[in-house]
Amino acid sequence: MNRSTSLLLNAAHTLDHLVLLIFASAVSVIAIEFGFANWEDLMPYTAGAFLMFGIGSIPSGRLGDLWGRRKMMVLYFFGLAASCGLVALTQNAWQIAAALTLMGLFASIYHPVGIPMLLRHAAKPGLVIGWNNLAGNMGIALAALFTALAIKYFGWRAAFWLAALLSIALGLFFMKVCPTESEPAGKRKASGASLPRDLVIRALVVMTTAATSGAILFNFTTNSNAELLKVKFDQVVTDPAVLGFLLAGVYAVAAFSQVAAGWLLDRVALKKLFMTIVSFQIAFLLAASQTTGWPYLVFSLGFMAAIFGAIPFVDAVIVRYVDDSMRSRATGMRIAITFGVSSLAVYLIGPTVKSFGFDTMLLVMAALACFTIAAMSWLPSDTATEQTR
């Protein structure tokens, strides 16, 4: 794979997370325009986007393996651009719900297609995963920042139009530099010795369970952090552009934890590393639930770094246990389950915060991280895996 294609695949990951979180970053303003008294009442309308982001990964992964990953990435760029334009044209809650759902369907293409495409010839997959996940979370940071700036100077619709134009530009560049595949990945022969079936199934069950709880934490935080920061910084900072800058800074700094985690994945036992990272999630979430103002910002940086740092684990398990000829389908199934379940978290953010408050939500997330550690204890050790090869 040439360097330009690799950079574009990382940029596509940035774009994927950016478009999915523009709505969450602008929900307060959109709620007022659409006649809602509270942003919490509009938040459930975005659940369809995350549901399709999960369910759509199954056909996306299958088509990536059997039809071609390059073709699917072209569809990703131009389909995402069209759906972003539709979101910008909506006039009421149900219209934006439908447009966001369509956007979620096109966004579902990236993870089961782009990441296996990037990892196929990687000599150090952990580091490649780390940089790729950093790129994805820079999209989260950009969503918070440029949505806030767009709202301040042009209105929320401008953020979606800019994302659409960016997607078209990246798609055209991708078509120019990405070489045509000789044959789809699913039609190639297996590239190495396979592991025992029971060991692979065990690892994938643990991965899916842990990834589901991790995806719930990811969706809870990234979709509610803009409003959470407003509450925690009440009477300290009120300018939406400044809050957007602070949140973008948290995301940008925290995202580098994925590069560190990816680097360690090539050197440290996977199971031990992941359980350590999740332990930090618990500690920082508990601390954040008890603080406000600048101390809260420090702890939010901590729990976001730990949540982001756990993400490379999922792709590392797939690289270790699944042959490249089936990775798009395996990734698609995993994402369908994890984001299908975690889309419920997006739906429940508004009602949960309205009924119990953000501090209770943070405590629930800490409890969920405890469940992740329990699930991880069943993962085969690295020693056991190597002995069966």
pLDDT of residue 386: 53
Does some domain include residue 68? yes
Whether the per-residue pLDDT at 385 is higher than 70: the answer is no
Does some domain include residue 151? yes
Banded model confidence at residue 288, pLDDT cuts 50, 70, 90: very high
Per-residue burial over 346-357, b = 16 or more CB atoms within 10 Å of its CB, e = otherwise: bbbbbebbeeee
pLDDT of residue 132: 92
Does some domain include residue 11? yes
Could you count the other beta carbons within 10 Å of the beta carbon of residue 33?
A: 14
Does some domain include residue 389? no
Average pLDDT, the chain: 88
Does some domain include residue 386? no
User: How many domains is the chain built from?
Assistant: 1
Range of the domain at 152: 3-381
At 146-199, the pLDDT tens digits run 898 888 899 999 999 999 999 999 999 999 999 988 778 777 666 555 667 778
Does some domain include residue 93? yes
Does some domain include residue 387? no
Whether the per-residue pLDDT at 388 is higher than 70: the answer is no
At 98-156, the pLDDT tens digits run 999 999 999 999 999 999 999 887 788 889 999 998 898 888 888 888 898 888 899 99
pLDDT of residue 214: 84
Whether the per-residue pLDDT at 272 is higher than 60: the answer is yes
Question: CATH number of the domain that 355 lies in?
Answer: 1.20.1250.20
What's the rounded Cα separation, in Å, for the pair 39 and 67? 41
Does some domain include residue 388? no
